[in-house]
Each structure stands twice: as structure tokens, then as C-alpha cells.
Amino acid sequence: MKELKHVAIIMDGNGRWAKKRGMPRSFGHKRGSENLRKLSFYIFEQGIEVLSVFCFSTENFRRSQEEVDFLMNLFVEKFQNEFEEYKKKNIKVIFSGRREGLRQDVLEAMDAISEGTKDNTGGIFHLCLNYGGQYEVIDAMKKVVASGIDLDTLTPEEFMHYFYQDLPPIDFMIRTSGEKRLSNFMLYQASYAEFYFPDTYFPDFDSNEFDKALDVYYERDRRFGGIKEQ
């Protein structure tokens, strides 16, 4: 069967999901967060090793202070409340993004959940918070230069070891809500990913929707520049 190690999800459409119901955007974020909890467990049950999710982009600071504050509070609440559950389910929680610019209580909640789950082996839950793909490349480049390695020997695969987290490339990238763009998410790691853009808003993207996505993935023909599927 075709390899599927690393799934990435751009969780989009929380605001529109709420608006459709005459509710404030914050309600959509809350439901999106609850959905992520259930969906992540389901995805790891399918044997997927790495799940990367886009929680907050470096550009999302352009939103109103009220929305940014709501989201940051939601992250703290989520990491604290769900800590034990991820620990028990043997899932390792890790983060990517710039720490500068994040509130102290957010950083503390991130550190607590990643420290408490660091020895888990049943799946890697990779949360991208204050994350931008272009900054990740810049930050990796700085590390490469500081390491003093011979730049002429650097391969694309080796370069990835300098990213925020050392993860395999993305096999399958899903963006919910019908938008068809990457919005600066894991640009380098998505070089050979298959893309899937369901119209469903993220709070409604449940395990059934994920099964449909998997069907699409397994129908795809990945060639990696060659002629035959690998």
C-alpha cells in the first residue's frame, strides 16, 4: 500500500462556520479546537505517524486583538486540559514556530505538554503556532551558517534537519474550507505532497470526512519525478 506517514492539515473555515450559524468567530474556534482533539486521536488510530496542523500563522497577528487574545487563551486551556489524554494515548506533542511574540503563559503551556509527552512513541502531533514557512527556512539557514558545515555538501534532505522539527516530508496536505492556497505553511516539506481541498469548514471535518480524504489519497498516483509510482 502507498506510504502515508505524514499528514498535514491547514485547519481553515472556523470563522465562516460560526458566521453561517449567526455566531461570533470565537464560537467557531472553540468548535474547531474540539474537532481537532477528536480528529487527531482518530488519525493516530489509523496508524499515521506524524500529524502536522496549522494552529496560528505569523500573519494571524494581523487579526483583531480580541480574536488573537481569544485564540491564545484557547491554546492555553487546550494544552492544559488535554495534556493527560495525549500522555495516556502515547502521543508525543511537539511545536514549530517562533517563540518570540508569544505570551509567557502560552509558552509555559506549550513547554508543559511537550515535556510531559516527550517519551511517547505512538505518534507525533506537530502543532504549528506563530508559524511561517518562509521564516522557518530563514531560521534554518541561520542554523546552517552557525554550524559551520561545508555549504557545498548540503543536500535538500539534510537541510530539513535544521528546521524547527526534524520530520519526514509531508505525504498528504489537506486544507479545509475550499481555499486553495498554502498561506505560508510548510512550503519546503510539502514539495511532493498530494493536495486535497475539501469545501467542508474545519469544525465539520470529522472522521468520516477524513476517511473520504484517505480514499482520494490512495487513488492518487505519486511519481516523484519518475515514471512509475513508488
Distance of alpha carbon 110 from alpha carbon 93, whole angstroms: 9
**Which amino acid, one-letter code, is at 2?**
K
Q: Given candidates 40, 57, 58, 189, which one binds ligand IPE under the rule CB under 6 A?
A: 57
Q: What angle do CA 192, 164, 129 make, to 5 degrees?
A: 95
Residues 61-80 that bind ligand IPE (CB under 6 A): 71
Distance of alpha carbon 116 from alpha carbon 121, whole angstroms: 13
Q: Which does 57 bind (CB under 5 to 8 A by kind): Mg ion, ligand IPE, none?
A: ligand IPE
Residue 98 and residue 164 in contact, taking contact as beta carbons nearer than 8 Å: no
96 Cβ contact partners less than 8 Å away, ≥ 6 residues apart: 52, 126, 127, 128, 129, 131, 136, 163, 164, 165
Nearer to ligand IPE, 14 or 117 (CB): 14
Q: How many residues does the chain have?
A: 230
- Is position 12 annotated as part of the catalytic site? yes
Nearer to ligand IPE, 162 or 177 (CB): 177
Question: With contacts defined by CB under 6 A, how many residues of the chain interact with ligand IPE?
Answer: 17
200 binds ligand IPE (CB under 6 A): no
Region binding ligand IPE by CB under 6 A among candidate stretches 13-21, 37-45, 114-122, 164-172: 13-21
12 binds Mg ion (CB under 5 A): yes
Residue of 12, 14, 130, 171 marked catalytic:
12
Residues with active-site annotation? 12, 60
Which residues of this chain interact with ligand IPE, rule CB under 6 A? 10-16, 54-57, 60, 71, 177, 179, 181, 183
